[in-house]
Amino acid sequence: MGENLQQTPIGTDDWAAAMTEQATTAGAKPAAGDAAPEPIFEQFTANGASAVQRTDLDMILDIPVQLEVQLGRTKIAIKNLLQLAQGSVVELDGMAGEPMEVLVNGCLIAQGEVVVVNDKFGIRLTDVITPSERIRKLNR
């Protein structure tokens, strides 16, 4: 872990190219009969939002949040933890091929799959939890 890894920023062009490649290889063109997906978040329009509402939203846009992607979890005894060394394998509860969980401040917001672009890991969101689903989970 003491290695200094040289971090090269990934440009938006690299990610855009990866997304374009995904769309062309996966045949992501919707069929003629498919309806457009419903927007997840309410859209603000010039007629629909007052200047005060827009200013209020602008005030929170720069607040940092903790974004986590979880591969899996496990419980381990301290005795076993102290025996871990380079090359040790720790079994997780996640299965190969299962979607990763994306959490913001500890709250599940989406699931996705790992992607690699220019030797950097990323996550492609495959399922976004709607606000109503999140509220329903809080009430349980």
Q: What is the pLDDT of residues 2-15, one digit of tens each?
A: 444 455 556 667 77
Task: Give pLDDT, residue 52.
Answer: 57
Task: Give pLDDT, residue 86.
Answer: 92
The rounded distance, in Å, linking the Cα atoms of 94 and 114 is 14
Helix (H) or strand (E) holding 78: helix 78-82
Beta bridge partners of 101: 70, 111
What SS3 class is residue 40?
A: coil
For 74, the token pair is: 């496990």
Domain spans of the chain, in order of start: 64-84+92-140
Q: What is the pLDDT of residues 111-138, one digit of tens each?
A: 998 888 888 888 899 999 888 887 887 7
Q: What is the pLDDT of residues 80-102, one digit of tens each?
A: 999 999 999 888 887 777 888 89
CATH 2.30.330.10 fits 64-84+92-140, yes or no: yes
